[in-house]
Chain A
Amino acid sequence: MSNDTDWLVGAGLALSAIAATAMLQPRPRTSPSPAPARLPPRTGPHPRASVRAARRLNRAAGMLAASVLADSSVEHYRGSFKNKAMVTPLAVSALTLAMSAHGTADRRPWAHRLRDGSYLLAAATGLIGTGFHVYNVTKKVGGFSWQNLFYGAPLGAPMAILLSGLLGFCSERVRDTSRARRPHVFGLPAARTIAAVTAAGLLGTSGEAGLLHFRGAFHNPFMAVPVTLPPLGAALLFNAAARDPDDDATRAHPLTRAWMWLLAAMGFIGIGFHAYGVSRNMGGWRNWSQNILAGPPLPAPPSFTGLALAGLAALGLMREHPDA
């Protein structure tokens, strides 16, 4: 039972922490990014810009995967890994994380088959995981009730690995189409598609934060932050995705970009708030073996950082490709 799986959790947490830090390392200096104002107007492809956007997306996918790895390690440890399938998200998010790190470092303008495969696997894991979680909630006595939504398997959680997979998959498409006239995903303009997916992700993640903060009765006013800022960010992203692509003046989206940075920061500050929350429980950090599990989840807030990074990647691509 759970005693045997301690090492699994430790490894998951360590890996995700290292990865999250690595994902936020500044990009290598070898890839100078020209200021948008100095970009010559172009109608054709610009491989370097697309690859840059793709790498940013890899990074965003990695960030999300790191969050999932840490979160599912802790939560499935709490669930004592009763079902053997509960190790799946740990393995898949670790793989996604590795692939994303690889992609973040990779400057070649074409998709990587292994990365592609692992991103699809991540997306599939998210879908199947959601199914598992829905089953877990509905099979409990009381069924689809507040009690089971609050305390059963969180319905929204597997969506994070789905999003990670989707963003990674989009990243590969952007990279792959960098030699085409415009980057696209299944024929859709890549930047705007990714912006829309990210916006949807922000809404979903915010919804989950809302559910759990409602469970905590919003006892601290700061608990309202992750249910107010991200939906506004999502609205801004949707708006950016819907803008007239030919209107150069509107392509920079400075407010949306600033908002994404705000959300990225919020994700990290959220860890601090959650750490404070753990300390507020009986016994504080000394009683870590209970309070890490019972207190607010430390790995949850960085999901917002991952999505914000994806939003930034989409906005960057949008700025450089009028019709992306």
Chain B
Amino acid sequence: MHDRSRPPALPNRYPDYDVLAKRNGESWNDKTREVIAERLAVTATPLFFSASEFLLLEAIAARIVPQPSSRPPIPVAALVDRKLHADVADGYRADGMPRHRDAWRRGLRALEAEARAAFQRPFVELSEATQDELLRHAEAGELKAADWGGMRCEDFFKRRLLHDIVLAYYAHPTAWSEIGWGGPASPRGYVRLDVNDRDPWEPAEAEPGREQEAARINRHVR
């Protein structure tokens, strides 16, 4: 089993690329600008969760999508909170699962109860490794506290917790820059589609040792 507790070793594959530099160019339409502006304005204060639930969610999110300290963090927990506040649903739930809002509340309560039962401390005070251990137990369907009710912990972990947190992280432009994605694309799409082709408005990937070259190009991506 790989060690989830270590911080991510993120290679700087797209140095100096910032997808937001394209924001006022032809790749973004007004609707996209509006939607992303709203997302970037999200602050780390909960509208749906209680303060204690939100702290717990922040701790969990930091384990699911650990972030480097070298840049401002993506407010993952707040993005999940806004989705629930807006009541955006998936379109299905497993048998025994409550609807998304109730599932989150119940799931967080249950995880907290499991932390206190197994380690006699709140989840947020556990070490990262211990937090991961607890989450792995949830993933494996091994948690049986009464707080789970009829909801299976593995369903909660996979279909709610993991799903919502991962989607929140990759809804953020910072994550898009990190993976070298071209970002929003309308009205301007792409011209060069073939193997190893890159449009001037896409990020250049750095070959090892030639980061400066890629950075120079990426600073001009608009």
Contact = CB atoms under 8 A, between A and B. Distances in A.
Interface of A: 1-3, 6, 78, 80, 282-283, 286-287, 289-290, 293-294
B188 A283 contact: yes
A283 B190 CA distance: 13
A103 to B, nearest CB: 37
Contacts of A294: 191
B204 A287 contact: no
A316 to B, nearest CB: 43
Nearest to A141: B195
Interface of B: 26, 186-192, 197-201, 204, 217, 220
B188 A2 contact: no
Contacts, number: 39
B117 to A, nearest CB: 57
A283 B191 contact: no
Pairs of residues from A and B, 3 with the lowest C-beta to C-beta distance, nearest first = A283-B187, A282-B187, A293-B191
B192 A78 contact: yes
Contact of A3 (B187, B188, B200): B200
A289 B222 CA distance: 11
Contacts of B198: 1-2, 80
Given A2-B200, A286-B187, A287-B188, 10 more contacts: A2-B198, A3-B200, A3-B220, A6-B200, A80-B197, A80-B198, A282-B188, A282-B189, A283-B188, A287-B26
Contacts of B192: 78, 80
Nearest to A291: B188
A216 B188 CA distance: 20
B220 to A, nearest CB: 6
B201 A289 contact: yes
Nearest to A140: B194
20 contacts: A1-B198, A1-B200, A1-B217, A2-B199, A2-B200, A3-B217, A78-B191, A80-B192, A282-B186, A282-B188, A283-B187, A287-B188, A289-B26, A289-B200, A289-B201, A290-B26, A290-B188, A290-B190, A293-B191, A294-B191
A101 B186 CA distance: 43
